[in-house]
Structure 1
Amino acid sequence: MRKLENYHLLVMLILLVAVGQMAQTIYVPTIADMAESLSVRAGSVQRVMAAYLITYGMSQLLYGPLSDRIGRKPVIMAGMMIFMLGAVGVLLADSLTLLVVASAVQGMGTGVAGVMARTMPRDLYAGNSLRYANSLLNMGILVSPLLAPIIGSILASWFGWRACYAFLLLLCAGVAFSMYRWLPETRPQNSEPRAMFSGFRPLLADGTFSRYLVMLVGALAGIAVFEASCGVLMGGVLGLSGITVSILFILPIPAAFFGAWYAGRADKSFHMLMWHSVISCLLAGLLMWIPGWLGIMNIWTLIVPASLFFFGAGMLFPLATTGAMEPFPYLAGAAGALVGGLQNVGSGLIAWLSALLPQSGQFSLGLLMFAMAMLILLCWWPLSNRLQHQGHTV
C-alpha cells in the first residue's frame, strides 16, 4: 500500500460516511417487524428510506457552500447533532408518519457526510494522491452497506427493531466526539468569503465539471435502478425466497469494492482507467438488455451484468469525483455539494422512472442501465479527446 499523508483523517471521514450509509440499510431485515409494530403494511415502510434519501441529497446543496463560508468542522458537528436528534425521534416514534419525519431529519443530518466525502479529500490531496485517497475512501464506504444489515438483524433479534437506531445513535455520538476532539479545520486558509450558493454558477458553467457530474449521476442511477428492481424481479417474478434475494442483493457490492481498488492503481493512467470504467458500464448495460430482448431472465442474467456495472461504477466514482473536484480547491464545498446532492436526486428520479415501467422481465432494467452507460460514454468521449490533446493521458 502506498504511503498517504493524513491517513488518520481519511479513516475518520470513512467513519463519518459510514453513519449515513448504515442508516440506509441497517433496518432492512426488520421491515416486517417495524410494520407490525406500527400496524401498517410492510410496503409502506419503504417511505422511510425515500424520506431519508430525499433530505440526504437536498441538504448537501446547503452544507457544501456553508462549509466554504464558515469551515468544514462546524458544519460537520451541526450535521451530526441533527442526525442524533432524528435518531432520538425514531426511538420515540409511535406511528409511521413520525418515523418518516424522523428519518427525514436523519437524512438531513448525514447529508453533511455526503458532502465531506468529496470536499475534504480535495482539501488534503491533489493529483495522484487525490485519486488514491478517493479510491481508499470509496473502498471503506462500501464495507458499511455489507455490515449494516447483519448488525441490524442481530440487534433486532435480541432487542427489537428500535435497537438498530439506538446503535446508530451511539455510533454517531462516538464519531461526533472523535471529530470534535481530533479533526482539524481543513478548509484552505486563504479562501475568500463568498455569498452563499455563489459557487454553484461557475461550477455548473464549467463544461468539464458538468460532464463529470453527469457521469456520476449516470453511474449511481444505474446502481439505483438495479437495487430498486432487484426485489421485484427476483422475488416477484422468479419467486425466490427473501433470504435468497437478500444474499443476491449484496453479491455485486464486492465488485464495486474491487473497482474502487482498481481505480487507485499507480501503474495505470487516469485516462486508461476511465476508459476501463466506461467500457465496463457499457458492456454491462448490453448484457442486461440483450436477455430482455430475448425474453430470458434468471439469476445469472441479472447478477453477472449487475456485478460488471458495479465494477465499472466502483472505478468511476473515485475517478470522476477526482476529475470534477481537483480544479476547484477554493470551491470544494460547493463542488462536493453538487456532486453529492445531484447524484442522489438524479438517481432517485431515474429509479422513480423505473417504477413506472413494466417489471415482468429485465427489459426495462436493461434499457435504463444501458441508457445510463451511453450517457456516461457521451460525456467521457469529449473529455478523453481533450486530455489526449493536453497530453494528460500518461
Structure 2
Amino acid sequence: MKSKRLVVLAIALLMFPQLAQTLYSPALADIGRAFAVGPQQAAQTLSVYFLSFAFGVVVWGRLCDRIGRRPSMLIGLSLYAVASILALTSRTFDTLLVAQALAAFAAAVGSVVTQTLLRDRFNGAQLAQIFSLMGVALAASPAIGLFGGASLVHAFGYRGVLGCLLLLSLGLCLWSWRALPETRPHHLAAVGVFETLWRMLQDLDIWRSALLVALFNIALFSYYSLAPFIFEDLGLSGQSFGYSGVILALGSGLGAWFNKRLLRRGFGSARLIRIAALSGLLGGAGVWLMQGSVLFVLAMLPVVLAFGMAIPNILGSALSNYGDRLGTAGALFGLLYYLLIGVGMMLAAWSQALGLTLLSCAALGLLLARGQGK
C-alpha cells in the first residue's frame, strides 16, 4: 500500500515540471502582447526555462544525496511558489524572464528527485514498468496543460496561468510534507561530483542516451513553443490551440500503451526506441507538408506517440551502471540533456520552422538509435 501511495505522489511530482511548461505555452501570445515583444522573444521564455531547469537538476540532484530526498523536494517546491509570486508582480519582460529562470530552477526538483527516489525503491524490470506507468500518466499532461492554460488565458490572461502554477506548487508542497518519505540509503558512499562527471563524459552510452532524451523532448516542446503562433497566423484562437492538447494526449497515451504492451511481448528497449524514431520521422514529414493547414495537428500524433514510447525506455536504463551514486549521476545526466534541450529550443525559436525541427530531431534520433544494441 505504501508503495502504491508513493507511486501516486511520484506521478504528481513528475508531472509537475511538464504541466508547468504546457500550462505556460498558451500564454506566450498574450505575454507577447502584454510586454510588446515579438514571437521570437516570447518563445525564448521556454528556452530560458529549459536552460535554468538544467542547472536546477544538478543542484537538486546533488542536494538529495547530501541532505535527503524529502527536504530537497520541500525546498524546491517552496522556491517555485516564490518564483510564481515574482512573475505575477513583474512589470517588465526582463523581470518575467528572471522569474521564469527561477521557476525553472525550482521545478527541476520534481524531475531529478522523483526519479532518484523511484530508483531507490525499485530496480530492474520493476523500475522499467514503473517508468512505463509514468509515461501513461504523463500522457495526460499535454491535454491538461494546453486546455487548462488556454482556458485560463482566455478568462484571466497570462496571470491566470501564473496564479494556477502558484496554487499547484503550494498544493504539492503540502502533499509532500504530509506524505513523502525519505528514501535515501542510510550508508550512501560519498562520491565526488567531478569524478562522476568525468566518468560520465567518457561514457558513450550516457552521451547517446542524453542526446536521445533531448531530441524527443525538443520535438515535443517545439510544438508548444511554435504552434501558438501558427494557430494565430491561421486565424485561430488560443482556445483552439488548447483543444489540440487533447489530440497530443491521445498520441502520447497511445505511445505509452504500445510501449507497455511491446515490453511485455519481449521487445527490447533499443528496438522500441528505433520504432519511436521512425514514428517521429513520419510525423515530422506530415507536419512539414501540412503546416499551412490546421490539419498539421493530426500529423503531430506520431510525434507525441514517439515521445511516449521512447522516453520511458531511455530513462529506465540510462543510469544502470551508476547505482552507487544515483542522485549525483541523475543530476549530471539531467544537466547534460536539459542543456541540449535548451540549445535545441533556442534553435527552434530562431528558425520558427516546426516541420523542419521535427524532421531534424527524428532523423538524428534514428541515427543514434541504430547505434544501440538489441
CA deviation after TM superposition for structure 1 residue 161, in Å = 3.7
CA deviation after TM superposition for structure 1 residue 231, in Å = 4.6
Q: Could you tell me which of 229, 235, 241 is aligned with 2:236? A: 241
> Does structure 1 residue 60 correspond to structure 2 residue 57?
yes
> Cα distance 1:196–1:366, how it changes in 2: closer, same or farther (>3 A)?
closer
> Cα distance 1:177–1:5, how it changes in 2: closer, same or farther (>3 A)?
closer
SS in 1 for 2:139: helix
Map of 1:40 onto structure 2: 36
Map of 2:184 onto structure 1: 187
Q: Give the length in aligned residue pairs.
A: 371
1:49-89 per-position Cα deviation (integer Å, ceiling 9, x unaligned): 33222211221122212222332112112211211110111
AA of the residue aligned to 2:365: A
Map of 1:337 onto structure 2: 331
Map of 1:392 onto structure 2: none
Q: Could you tell me which of 340, 344, 361 is aligned with 1:369? A: 361
CA contact (8 A) 2:135 2:256 kept: yes
> Cα distance 1:35–1:8, how it changes in 2: closer, same or farther (>3 A)?
same
AA of the residue aligned to 1:371: A
> Does structure 1 residue 151 correspond to structure 2 residue 148?
yes
AA of the residue aligned to 2:123: A
Map of 2:207 onto structure 1: 210
Of 160-169 and 174-183, the range deviating more from structure 2: 160-169
> Cα distance 1:32–1:324, how it changes in 2: closer, same or farther (>3 A)?
closer
Map of 2:254 onto structure 1: 258
Map of 1:119 onto structure 2: 116
Q: How does 1:1-394 map to 2 (within 5 A)?
A: 6-36=3-33, 38-41=34-37, 43=39, 44-159=41-156, 161-231=158-228, 236=233, 239=234, 241-242=236-237, 243-248=239-244, 251-265=247-261, 267-271=264-268, 274-286=270-282, 288-289=284-285, 299=293, 302-303=296-297, 305-357=299-351, 359=353, 362=355, 364-365=356-357, 367-380=359-372, 383-384=373-374
AA of the residue aligned to 1:278: R
Whole-Å separation in 2 of the counterparts to 1:162 and 1:24: 15
1:331-379 per-position Cα deviation (integer Å, ceiling 9, x unaligned): 21123223433322212322333445584x94x3454134233233233
AA of the residue aligned to 2:360: L
AA of the residue aligned to 2:236: S
> Cα distance 1:369–1:70, how it changes in 2: closer, same or farther (>3 A)?
same
Normalised to the residue count of structure 2, the TM-score between the two structures is 0.86
> Cα distance 1:278–1:226, how it changes in 2: closer, same or farther (>3 A)?
farther
> Cα distance 1:170–1:261, how it changes in 2: closer, same or farther (>3 A)?
same
CA contact (8 A) 1:216 1:317 kept: yes
CA contact (8 A) 1:135 1:260 kept: yes
Normalised to the residue count of structure 1, the TM-score between the two structures is 0.82
AA of the residue aligned to 1:324: A
> Cα distance 1:335–1:375, how it changes in 2: closer, same or farther (>3 A)?
farther
CA deviation after TM superposition for structure 1 residue 35, in Å = 4.6
CA RMSD of aligned residues (A): 3.1
Q: Which has the larger radius of gyration?
A: 1
SS in 2 for 1:18: helix
Give ranges in structure 1 of 5+ residues lacking alignment.
385-394
CA deviation after TM superposition for structure 1 residue 256, in Å = 1.7
% same residue: 23
Give ranges in structure 2 of 5+ residues lacking alignment.
none
CA contact (8 A) 2:80 2:106 kept: yes
> Cα distance 1:260–1:201, how it changes in 2: closer, same or farther (>3 A)?
farther
AA of the residue aligned to 1:163: G
Whole-Å separation in 2 of the counterparts to 1:370 and 1:298: 21
